[in-house]
Amino acid sequence: MAASVLCRRTAALCRTLTGMSSSKTVLPSSWLLLQTASYNPKPLKLNLHEPYVPDKDSEKTPEWQKTARYDRKLFGRYGSASGIDPASLWPSHEQLDKMIAEENEWHPPLKVMLKNIKDREKQEAEQRLAKEKLIAANMAKMPKMVADWRREKSETKQKLKEEKARRAKLLSEARERFGYTVDPRNKKFVEMVAEIEKEEKKKKKLMKRRLKENQVAAPVTPPAASSSS
């Protein structure tokens, strides 16, 4: 056992020695000795000469010495000298059924375990893929969303500016009309604003009518011109 290992090592050493040194070297005999060691185990005190086998029938023996577990230990320590039927060492049919049921519940067979692992991994992979897809789709939408947002922002800004300009114009208009700076919340101001709006509307309507008339006149005359020509 160890000799084979040692022989290999001594052989290697011999080779190196003969390669290196002169022929005067002699192998000390101690290297060729077999090195063995043995551990000293504790002596097994089986107590076979004076076995203590408790009397099952008497009342003086404690309860725990009448259990099946203790019987098994007696058998293990004294063998057949303990007077215990070896058939009782194995579980009975009911106990065996319970053990089988427990094992089926808590220790599934290898195939079932592998299947569970596979399913779980598949599910995790699917979830991960779905999440990544969602992220990718959203990222693809990003430039458009950014542009939209920027546009909206600029629009609101523009509107605010326009609003401000309109208000300033109205204020100046009111100033011209009334001759002094009117508070925008004043009634007169409000009436004035309403009047201006009415005038604007009338103007727009007139403009629209004129545009319509022009449009009607314009398409009529070119066909007439074309038909005539």
What is the binding site for other proteins (CB under 8 A)? 1-2, 4-6, 8-9, 34-39, 41, 44, 46, 48, 71-81, 86, 89-91, 93, 96, 99-100, 107, 109-110, 113-114, 116-117
Find tokens 């058939």 and name the residue.
Answer: 87
- Rank residues 90 and 180 by Cβ distance to other proteins and give the closer one: 90
State in angstroms the smallest separation of the CB of 61 from other proteins: 19
State in angstroms the smallest separation of the CB of 74 from other proteins: 7
What single letter denotes the amino acid at residue 70? Y
Tell me the angle at which helices 110-178 and 187-228 cross, rounded to the nearest 10 degrees: 100
State in angstroms the smallest separation of the CB of 140 from other proteins: 36
Task: Tell me 221's DSSP state.
Answer: H
State in angstroms the smallest separation of the CB of 134 from other proteins: 28
- CB of 169 closer than 8 Å to CB of 193: no
State in angstroms the smallest separation of the CB of 131 from other proteins: 23
- Rank residues 99 and 194 by Cβ distance to other proteins and give the closer one: 99
Find tokens 């005539």 and name the residue.
Answer: 228
- Rank residues 24 and 93 by Cβ distance to other proteins and give the closer one: 93
Task: Tell me 180's DSSP state.
Answer: S
State whether residue 181 is helix, strand or coil.
coil
| Tokens at 154, concatenated | 């600029």
- Rank residues 2 and 129 by Cβ distance to other proteins and give the closer one: 2
- Rank residues 11 and 147 by Cβ distance to other proteins and give the closer one: 11
**Residues whose CB falls within 8 Å of the CB of residue 170, separated by 6 or more in sequence, listed in order:** 184, 189, 192, 193, 196
**Residues whose CB falls within 8 Å of the CB of residue 83, separated by 6 or more in sequence, listed in order:** 53
**Residues whose CB falls within 8 Å of the CB of residue 56, separated by 6 or more in sequence, listed in order:** 66
Find tokens 């458009």 and name the residue.
Answer: 144
State in angstroms the smallest separation of the CB of 123 from other proteins: 14
Find tokens 């019987």 and name the residue.
Answer: 71
State in angstroms the smallest separation of the CB of 22 from other proteins: 27
| Tokens at 40, concatenated | 């000293």
- Rank residues 46 and 211 by Cβ distance to other proteins and give the closer one: 46
- Rank residues 20 and 34 by Cβ distance to other proteins and give the closer one: 34
